[in-house]
Chains A and B, each alone.
Chain A
Amino acid sequence: MSTSNHETERNRERNSEATFGDYGGQYVPEALMPAVQELEDAYERYVLENEDGFMDEFRERMRDFGGRPTPLQRADRLSERYGREIYLKREDLVHGGAHKLNNALGQVLLAKYMGKERIVAETGAGQHGTATAMAAAHLDMPCEIYMGRTDVNRQRPNVYRMRMNGAEVNPVEAGSGTLKEAINETMRDWATTVETTHYVIGSIVGPHPFPKLVRDFQAVIGREARAQIQEQAGRLPDSVVACAGGGSNTMGTFHKFVPDEDVDLIAVEAGGSSLEIDAENAVAPNSATLSTGTDGVLHGAMTKLLQSEEGQIMESHSVSAGLDYAGVGPELSHLVETGRVTPVSVGDEAALNGFHRLSNLEGIIPALESSHALGFLEEAHEELGDLVVVNVSGRGDKDLETVLEETEKRDLEAAPDVEVFDS
């Protein structure tokens, strides 16, 4: 029994590094454990300690290739509408049109420093896939993207973009053919090719150290925003609002504000068409994991999940493909559990209105994901204080077709006259 106690002791020590409170960990097949530990080591050396100037090169490339820093812009008409100061962090202006490049470029560069020869990644809507394909082309790394069959069919332009950048795109036929299945298949590839391949995971999910690694690459959002708001408004904001799927733009925006206890941090999830769960068919018509999920293990981490009582993972739903995931980053689960981050949800319709409102009032067409944060602003601005920062995680060009289709189905108050589209 002494071996066992000794093991328990060393595991406890190790696990405190790998977890956020009750969440996180490394629930992966044994074959991947050495790779995950190799990545821990690389994370410490290159990211935390800037060995070989890794972080310097990363920042330089994010400036020259990625277009950083992005502006923090005062939204004049929204400020007027809501009677308070509204500032937008413009991640839609990052190369590729979303915050996703912050992480993808960081990880592809890290893979290069680690001597890996090949990149694999999953993608749902195709935003992370396109960012990874761009980064891999830029850094001359072979790249394969796994994408569910349903997503391949409904996101053709992104499939073309990945192909143009030289990436292979492998459709995944299993299950409902969306993000969850794409992650499963990428993990299977990685378990086969782990000795030469790095898995560029697309959000702050997965086994340790991915949630920290991705957060640290994304933390540039909040680092810039925090300095910018103090310079432009002379103080810290009362609240910071970001949408949350897996939660990478969310934690990226929040991370530097976490110690600022007077700043409210609000994660806006996809409420879909309803928060009610269809238990019989294991379907959640939403992706409100932080608001309604229960604790469990998926894709390498203990976190909040949309799951049946028996532990089967549910199909999630949202008008925004990038938020459509039954899990969420373990760090966000922890910050919600401790009360530091407030989870809220906004349904499809409010998000669509948010999309139209920002397009119409500010001349910025936001991603449908980001539109959830804007929908929340409309609903709850009175509770957000006098100075609010909203992260616009991406631009909405990719969503135009979905928005047209969804707008025609509804009577949306903020939508322009649809007749122009009909004629």
Chain B
Amino acid sequence: MSQEGTTDSDIEAAIRENHPALITYITAGDPSLEETKEYVEALDRGGSDLIELGLPFSEPIAEGPTIQAAINRALDAGTTPEGFFDLVDDLETEAPLLVMTYYNMILQYGSSEASRASESDAEPSNKPDVRPFVERGAEAGLSGIIVPDLPAEEADPLREACDDYGLDLVFIVAPTTEGERLDRIMSQVSGFAYVQARLGTTGARADVSGATHDSLARLSEYDVPKAVGFGVSEGDHAAEIIEAGADGVIVGSALIDLIASSDDPAAALEAKAEELKRGAIRGADDNAVESVGETAATSPSER
């Protein structure tokens, strides 16, 4: 694993080599898988360093109204896990791809595979299994998985499968994550730590929350890549977040809004990615200027 100091994963390399990193999210199948392919390519061209693709689940409890609506459009369009993996098979982006989905989708891919495989058997096993999903994801070229309803305490089976197939399992760190749990989660970071900027659900906001600054200050002693999401929508937010010590910004709802409202979503997405990436770089430059003379602005952790 990465923190042992061996080779970087695709995701870690992407963040390190393109620092500060822009991570973009859209929902696969919104409004169709064909269009998602175009949009992902546009985000890639616009300077995304990692791209998260949402595999839609009917009960997205971590999502605000914007992504909920995108998920509904994707489900109405008939998006399935198999269609999703076919899309990933087809994509040839420079940015590594991650899937963001809810745990039940991962579990059922296994059980439906198992029941398909044993159709003739009288008693197919209906116990869900995470491995077939991870195996198929690795085969399609995914680099990582994010599961908003899977806390570290429940993650052992998926973590083991991800280790076996060489995928990163990205954990979220919330404003409420503290003390011993924070230490434990930070010691298991794989890919990057997804820093949730504020309590609540996903959704574009007009400003960067104070909680973001608090979180980044709290996390500064951990020497792992940190990317901030939940509410980021503009280049200026990206600048502020990177300046506050993040290694990357994660943007989703603001992109979904463009898909839903723009006449030429691909062009709009590419332009938006450029704006966000420029903002992030500006934040990093400001940081570099400030830290001249200071020694070791970010101290490595005790490890």
- CB atoms of A27 and B154 under 8 A apart: yes
User: Which residues of A in the span 1-52 have a Cβ within 8 Å of any Cβ on B?
Assistant: 1, 3-4, 7-8, 11-12, 14-15, 22, 25-35
- CB atoms of A27 and B149 under 8 A apart: yes
Residue pairs across A and B with CB atoms within 8 Å: the count is: 146
Which of A86-94, A189-197, A401-409, A414-422 sits within the interface?
A189-197
- Give the interface centre of B68, B75, B151 by most chain A CB atoms within 10 Å: B151
- CB atoms of A14 and B153 under 8 A apart: yes
Query: What total of chain B residues lie within 8 Å of the partner, measured CB to CB?
Result: 55
Pick from B60, B75, B81, B171: contact of A30, CB under 8 Å: B171
B173 contacts A by Cβ under 8 Å? yes
Q: How far is the CA of A313 from the CA of B160 in the complex (A)?
A: 26
Q: How far is the CA of A309 from the CA of B82 in the complex (A)?
A: 12
Per-position binary interface string of chain B over residues 43-75, scored 1 when its CB falls under 8 Å from any chain A CB and 0 otherwise: 000000000000001111110100010001001
Q: How far is the CA of A254 from the CA of B103 in the complex (A)?
A: 31
Q: Which residues of A contact B148 (CB under 8 A)?
A: 29
Q: How far is the CA of A175 from the CA of B112 in the complex (A)?
A: 25
User: Which residues of B in the span 92-120 have a Cβ within 8 Å of any Cβ on A?
Assistant: 102-105, 107-109, 111-112, 115
Name which residue of chain B comes closest to A300, CB basis: B149
A180 contacts B by Cβ under 8 Å? yes
Given A34-B181, A191-B62, A309-B112, A297-B104 contact (CB < 8 Å): yes
A296 contacts B by Cβ under 8 Å? yes
A294 contacts B by Cβ under 8 Å? yes
- CB atoms of A313 and B58 under 8 A apart: yes
Pick from A28, A33, A300, A307: contact of B108, CB under 8 Å: A307
Which of B196-204, B220-228, B247-255, B286-294 sits within the interface?
B196-204
A310 contacts B by Cβ under 8 Å? yes
Q: Which residues of B contact A361 (CB under 8 A)?
A: none
- CB atoms of B153 and A312 under 8 A apart: no
- CB atoms of A7 and B173 under 8 A apart: no
Q: How far is the CA of A71 from the CA of B23 in the complex (A)?
A: 62
Q: Which residues of A contact B160 (CB under 8 A)?
A: 8
A298 contacts B by Cβ under 8 Å? yes
Name which residue of chain A comes closest to B75, CB basis: A312
- CB atoms of B153 and A310 under 8 A apart: no
- CB atoms of A30 and B177 under 8 A apart: yes
| B152–chain A nearest beta-carbon distance, Å | 8
- CB atoms of B128 and A296 under 8 A apart: yes
Name which residue of chain A comes closest to B184, CB basis: A7
Pick from B108, B126, B128, B151: contact of A310, CB under 8 Å: B108
Given A296-B107, A297-B104, A310-B108, A29-B59 contact (CB < 8 Å): no
- CB atoms of B105 and A310 under 8 A apart: yes
B159 contacts A by Cβ under 8 Å? yes
Q: Which residues of B contact A191 (CB under 8 A)?
A: 61-62, 199-201
Per-position binary interface string of chain B over residues 117-159, scored 1 when its CB falls under 8 Å from any chain A CB and 0 otherwise: 0000000001110000000000000000000111111111001
Given A4-B159, A29-B62, A192-B176 contact (CB < 8 Å): no
A84 contacts B by Cβ under 8 Å? no
A224 contacts B by Cβ under 8 Å? no
Q: Which residues of B contact A305 (CB under 8 A)?
A: 104
A311 contacts B by Cβ under 8 Å? yes
User: Which residues of B in the span 154-193 have a Cβ within 8 Å of any Cβ on A?
Assistant: 154-156, 159-160, 163, 171-178, 181, 184-185, 187-188
- CB atoms of B184 and A27 under 8 A apart: no
Per-position binary interface string of chain A over residues 173-193, scored 1 when its CB falls under 8 Å from any chain B CB and 0 otherwise: 011000010001001100111
- Give the interface centre of B107, B163, B173, B187 by most chain A CB atoms within 10 Å: B107
- CB atoms of A30 and B108 under 8 A apart: no
- CB atoms of B156 and A11 under 8 A apart: yes
Q: How far is the CA of A194 from the CA of B174 in the complex (A)?
A: 12
- Give the interface centre of B59, B115, B151 by most chain A CB atoms within 10 Å: B59
Q: Which residues of B contact A193 (CB under 8 A)?
A: 199
Given A296-B107, A311-B108, A313-B58, A174-B68 contact (CB < 8 Å): yes
Complex A-B, nearest 6 residue pairs according to Cβ-Cβ distance, in ascending order? A311-B108, A192-B200, A31-B174, A309-B112, A312-B58, A30-B172
Could you list 7 examples of A-B contacts with CB < 8 Å? A8-B160, A11-B155, A15-B154, A28-B149, A31-B199, A296-B108, A299-B59
A-B contact sample (12 more), CB < 8 A, given A29-B174, A195-B199: A1-B1, A4-B1, A28-B149, A29-B149, A29-B151, A29-B172, A31-B175, A31-B177, A33-B153, A191-B62, A294-B111, A297-B104
